[in-house]
């Protein structure tokens, strides 16, 4: 998975998801020489900015979005990737037909060989499942010339799903099939998570997850690192 020639597109329902769930893997890919582009579906201004809402009775959604935009860019800079946001809004995140073609064109514009997104059955947070529904559609139809977008069709990428809502893996059926040792870049991931200050519990929570996935990987995959991130494949790959 980690090699220098990859073009990796990461979809994130909210401002912090790409970093909390795949930040270490993104850093490793960048360090190896791959290009990584993050697309957030929303800024998470309604349901994913707890520190702002707790500090103000009725904060302005535009102000929250601006704050989260700055946080996204700061976290992405630490990881070394590019990041942008569709600004579709959250709670609920709804990707209708017009928005779906924006997602499709983002895939065609970047021409990835790998797409990362939320676990497809992450129904504990419906925004996550909606983001991946849109990512799957775009990744499966990006090669179809019958659906025109500003950028031309491209080959279908491989897809991997990253971590589900904390503590919900047994409920939503998330079982990692692939582990990435992030021990060497773990402190960088923590630095990036601290940039996402609207969600102050992220560093603590995802240190726990990374330690647990590493323990799990040591038993099931022979991984020896202290910190890891887990992924599940969508579909299968051919061999030529």
Local structure of 102: helix, strand or coil? helix
Residues 77-132: pLDDT tens digits?
A: 999 999 999 999 999 999 999 999 999 999 999 999 999 999 999 999 999 999 99
Asked if residues 162 and 119 have their Cβ atoms less than 8 Å apart, the reply is yes
For the record, the structure tokens of 46 come out as: 């309604």
The pLDDT confidence band at residue 140, using thresholds 50, 70 and 90, is very high
Instruction: Specify the length of the chain in residues.
Output: 240
The pLDDT confidence band at residue 215, using thresholds 50, 70 and 90, is very high
Would you state the pLDDT for residue 214?
98
Residues 167-214: pLDDT tens digits?
A: 999 999 999 999 999 999 999 999 999 999 999 999 999 999 999 999
Domains (ranges, CATH) in the chain?
7-234 (3.40.50.10320)
Mean pLDDT, all residues of the chain: 96
Would you state the pLDDT for residue 235?
76
Local structure of 57: helix, strand or coil? coil
Would you state the pLDDT for residue 238?
52
Would you state the pLDDT for residue 237?
59
Scored b (16 or more CB within 10 A) or e, 195-221 reads bbbbbeebbeebeebbeebbebbeeee
Would you state the pLDDT for residue 240?
42
Please tell me what DSSP assigns to residue 184.
G
């Amino acid at each position: 998975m980690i090699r220098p020639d990859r073009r990796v597109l990461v979809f994130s329902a909210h401002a912090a998801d790409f970093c909390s769930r795949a930040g270490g893997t993104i850093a490793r890919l960048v360090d190896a020489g791959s290009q990584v582009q993050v697309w957030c579906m929303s800024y998470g201004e309604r349901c994913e900015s707890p520190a702002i809402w707790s500090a103000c009775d009725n904060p302005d959604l535009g102000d929250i979005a601006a704050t989260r935009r700055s946080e996204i860019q700061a976290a992405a800079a630490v990881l070394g990737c590019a990041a942008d946001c569709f600004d579709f809004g959250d709670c609920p995140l709804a990707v209708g037909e017009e928005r779906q073609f924006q997602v499709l064109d983002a895939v065609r514009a970047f021409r990835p060989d790998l797409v990362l997104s939320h676990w497809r059955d992450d129904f504990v947070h419906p925004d996550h499942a909606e983001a991946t529904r849109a990512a799957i559609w775009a990744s499966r139809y990006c090669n179809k010339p019958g659906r025109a977008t500003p950028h031309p069709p491209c080959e279908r990428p491989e897809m991997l799903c990253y971590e589900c809502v904390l503590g919900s893996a047994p409920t939503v059926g998330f079982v990692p099939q692939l582990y990435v040792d992030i021990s060497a870049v773990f402190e960088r991931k923590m630095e990036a998570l601290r940039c996402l200050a609207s969600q102050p519990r992220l560093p603590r929570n995802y240190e726990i997850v990374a330690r647990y996935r590493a323990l799990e990987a040591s038993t099931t995959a022979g991984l020896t690192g202290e910190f890891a991130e887990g992924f599940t494949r969508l579909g299968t790959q051919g061999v030529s």
